[in-house]
Amino acid sequence: MIMKKKIDISANINGIKLASCIMNASGVLCTTEVDLNKLIVSSSGAVVTKSCTLKPRKGNLEPRYFEWNMGSINSMGLPNLGIDFYLDFLEKKNHQKPFFLSISGLTIEENYILLHKANLSSHISAVELNLSCPNIIGKDQVLGYDFNNISKILENIFKFYKKPLGIKLPPYFENKHIQKMAFILNKYPISFVTCINSLPNGLFIDINKETVVIQPKMGFGGIGGKTIKPFALANIRQFYTYLRKEIPIIGCGGICSGEDIFEHILCGASAVQIGTQFIKEGVSIFDRLRKELVHLLQKKKYTSINRFIGKLNVF
């Protein structure tokens, strides 16, 4: 009998150990107690919570999410149960998996308050600070595009915040912007970078009805899914090139198969998050993707994802 070698798809994000490198993207089926419990018992390598604010929020008017064969558009508007809910949930839950608390304050000051609260919790593995929410009515500023303020914000944060901190970034469309952001991030003890959030300011149209498909913001929203994979790969690749090697990247954007995960890792991701396709399939997706990834690695004779992180060839 031929013994197949065990394929290792675990990940180590600056000391945070994930049995599988595949987890959910913040925002997707991770808002309520029911959602979070399902994620805990699933085969996702970690649980990422919906970005939270200080107070609970209902979010934008519905319809606020729409998907088609190539992607999704959303303008959820940060619906969440408030940070205390997520911290209480964790305190009560005796779980084994890494837990990433995503936060997205409506102001910089709110982010500081959220981080003060997170700092006191012994149950979170890291905070994922979302600098890339595109859908708040009346607030068009995506913090991740505000290069002038990021340094100051991070400087203030690391004066008091002592736990692992990851940063969730929006997509950038110019190499020099990625270089600039990486230069800033490299100065701080950041535990990981997640890229990318949805592509902001997209529009999808129903040709039969001659209308937009979501209600908030005249139909404009963040684009996710298959359509955005090339942008995710480019951002991961360029951040991998410019970030200090001690800052791992969690790739997010357009993953539907084990092959997509392979591409993210080849570009430089140490782990990956699943958004749109997780909404389509539910928690069983983590099993499917794990099987597809393991199968591909067997075919390619890789025993571990560590063998090819960032090893993309160029001509």
Q: Does 27 bind ligand RRO (CB under 6 A)?
A: yes
CA distance 40 to 38: 5
Of 189, 199, 82, which Cα lies nearest the Cα of 144?
199
Q: Retrieve residue 155's tokens.
A: 């400087």
Q: Strands 165-169, 71-74: parallel, antiparallel or unpaired by DSSP?
A: unpaired
Q: Does 129 bind ligand RRO (CB under 6 A)?
A: no
Q: Pick the catalytic residue: 26, 102, 132, 270?
A: 132
If the CB atoms of residues 142 and 294 are measured against ligand RRO, the closer one turns out to be: 142
Least spacing, CB of residue 111 vs ligand RRO, in Å:
13
Which residues are CB-contacts of 161 (< 8 A; sequence separation ≥ 6)?
A: 115, 116, 118, 119, 127
Q: Is 132 known to be catalytic?
A: yes
CA distance 65 to 115: 29
Give residues 191-220 in contact with ligand RRO (rule: CB under 6 A).
197-198
CA distance 173 to 184: 17
Q: Does 276 bind ligand RRO (CB under 6 A)?
A: no
Stretch that binds ligand RRO, among 37-45, 73-81, 144-152, 201-209 (CB under 6 A): 73-81
Q: Does 238 bind ligand RRO (CB under 6 A)?
A: no
Q: Does 49 bind ligand RRO (CB under 6 A)?
A: no
Q: Is 133 known to be catalytic?
A: yes
How many positions of this chain bind ligand RRO (CB under 6 A)?
A: 16
Least spacing, CB of residue 202 vs ligand RRO, in Å:
10
Of 77, 86, 37, 38, which Cα lies nearest the Cα of 58?
77
Stretch that binds ligand RRO, among 131-139, 227-235, 284-292, 302-310 (CB under 6 A): 131-139
If the CB atoms of residues 132 and 270 are measured against ligand RRO, the closer one turns out to be: 132
Q: Does 132 bind ligand RRO (CB under 6 A)?
A: yes
Pick from 24, 49, 51, 276 the residue near ligand RRO by CB under 6 A.
Answer: 51
Structure letter (DSSP) for residue 307? G
If the CB atoms of residues 20 and 26 are measured against ligand RRO, the closer one turns out to be: 26
If the CB atoms of residues 49 and 198 are measured against ligand RRO, the closer one turns out to be: 198
Stretch that binds ligand RRO, among 41-49, 125-133, 148-156, 287-295 (CB under 6 A): 125-133
Which residues are CB-contacts of 314 (< 8 A; sequence separation ≥ 6)?
A: none
Q: What b/e string do you get for 274-298 counting C-beta neighbours within 10 Å, with b at 16 or more?
A: bbbbbbeeebebbebbbebbbebbe
Contact 163/126 with Cβ under 8 angstroms?
yes
Q: Does 277 bind ligand RRO (CB under 6 A)?
A: no
Query: 92-98 — which CB contacts under 8 Å span 24+ positions?
Result: 93/36, 93/40, 93/123, 95/40, 95/47, 97/18, 97/19, 97/40, 97/44, 97/45, 97/46, 97/47, 98/13, 98/16, 98/17, 98/18, 98/45, 98/46, 98/47, 98/125, 98/126
Least spacing, CB of residue 104 vs ligand RRO, in Å:
5
Stretch that binds ligand RRO, among 127-135, 142-150, 236-244, 283-291 (CB under 6 A): 127-135
Pick from 47, 133, 250, 285 the residue near ligand RRO by CB under 6 A.
Answer: 133
Of 224, 230, 180, 179, which Cα lies nearest the Cα of 200?
224
Pick from 222, 248, 253, 258 the residue near ligand RRO by CB under 6 A.
Answer: 222
Query: So which residues are the catalytic ones?
Result: 132-133
Residues binding ligand RRO (CB under 6 A): 27, 51, 74-78, 104, 130, 132-135, 197-198, 222
